[in-house]
Amino acid sequence: MNTPQKGLDITTAKSSRLDQVDFNNLVFGKYYADHMMICDYKDGAWQTPKIMPYGPMEIEPSSKVFHYGQAVFEGMKAFKDDEDKVWLFRPEENFERINISSKRMAIPEFPKDYFFNSLETLLDLDQEWVKKGEGNSLYIRPFAIGTEYGVSASPSNEYKFIIICCPAKAYYSTPVKVLISDHYSRSADGGVGFAKAAGNYGASFYPTNLAKEKGYQQVIWTDASTHEYLEEAGTMNVFFRIGDKLITA
C-alpha cells in the first residue's frame, strides 16, 4: 500500500439530478447520485482522489479489464436517521474486503484514508440522495479496474478506483425462490470464490438464467467437488435455522 497523500480534488455538479428520481418507485441501480469519486493508480502509486459529477468516462478498448477481468467491487449502504444524520453499515469490513479481493486479483490495495476521506465527502455532497424512513438507503458501489492499455496477458500497471452511489430500497420486493445448484459451481479450492471479483458474478449469470427458466430467482451454490455442502446464494447472504441455531457463511 502506498503512503497516502492528503487532499482531494473536488469539482461539484452544476445542478442536481435529484428531481429526476421517483423515490417511491425506485428500480435498483437505475439512478446515480450527483457525484462520484475516481482515483487513478499510475507510476506505482494511487494519485489524489478526484470527486466530480457522475458521468461517462473514457477508457481505451485495449484496457486490461476488458480482456482479463481485473475488476473487484463492494456493495455497502448508508442510512439516514430521524435527525438527518447519515450512517454507514460496517464500512470498515467492506473496506477490508475490497482490499482482500484486490490482492487476489493482483490489483494494488487502496489506502484507507483515501477511501474514507472521499466517501465522507461524497456523502456530504450527496446527502439529499440518502432518504430516511424504513427500507430506504443509499447503495454505495466502490470498485477497482485495470485500465492500462495493451492486450498482453499480464497485470495492469494502471488502475482506477471508483465510488458511485445509487438510492435503493429492498433489492427484492417479493420472497426469493432459490434453486440449489448440483451442477454449476461458483467457487473451487484455490480459486477466487472468496473475492468479490466481477467475473464471479458474470460466471453466475448463465446458471442463474437456467434457474429463472424453471421459476427460481436465485441459485444457492454448493461445494465444487461434491455438491453436498451449501455455500452461499448468488447475490446475498443465506442463513439456515436448525433448531435454535442460526448458521451462515
Ligand X SMILES: Cc1ncc(COP(=O)(O)O)c(C=O)c1O
Residue among 2 and 136 whose Cβ is closer to ligand X: 136
Nearest Cα to Cα of residue 123 among 36, 39, 40:
36
Using Cβ positions, the residue closest to ligand X within the complex turns out to be: 75
Integer Cα distance of 51 and 39 in angstroms: 9
User: Under a CB-based contact definition with an 8 Å cutoff, are residues 206 and 212 in contact?
Assistant: no
Residue among 57 and 247 whose Cβ is closer to ligand X: 247
Q: How far is the CB of 232 from ligand X (least distance, A)?
A: 5
Q: How far is the CB of 90 from ligand X (least distance, A)?
A: 8
Residue among 93 and 182 whose Cβ is closer to ligand X: 93
CA angle 101, 26, 134 (to 5 degrees): 85
Q: How far is the CB of 237 from ligand X (least distance, A)?
A: 5
C-alpha cell at 98: 475490497
Count, residues near ligand X per rule CB under 6 A: 6
Integer Cα distance of 32 and 54 in angstroms: 7
Residue 138 backbone phi and psi in degrees, to 5:
-110, 120
Residue among 167 and 234 whose Cβ is closer to ligand X: 234
Give me the 219-248 binding string for ligand X, x by CB under 6 A, dash otherwise: -------------x-xxxx-----------
Q: How far is the CB of 190 from ligand X (least distance, A)?
A: 19
DSSP 70-139: -EEE--EEEEE-TTS-EEESSHHHHHHHHHHHHHHTTPPPPPHHHHHHHHHHHHHHTGGGS-BSTT-EEE
Residue among 121 and 235 whose Cβ is closer to ligand X: 235
Q: Taking CB under 6 A as the rule, does residue 45 contact ligand X?
A: no
Q: Which of residues 63-122 bind ligand X (CB under 6 A)?
A: 75
> Which residues of the chain form contacts with ligand X (CB under 6 A)?
75, 232, 234-237
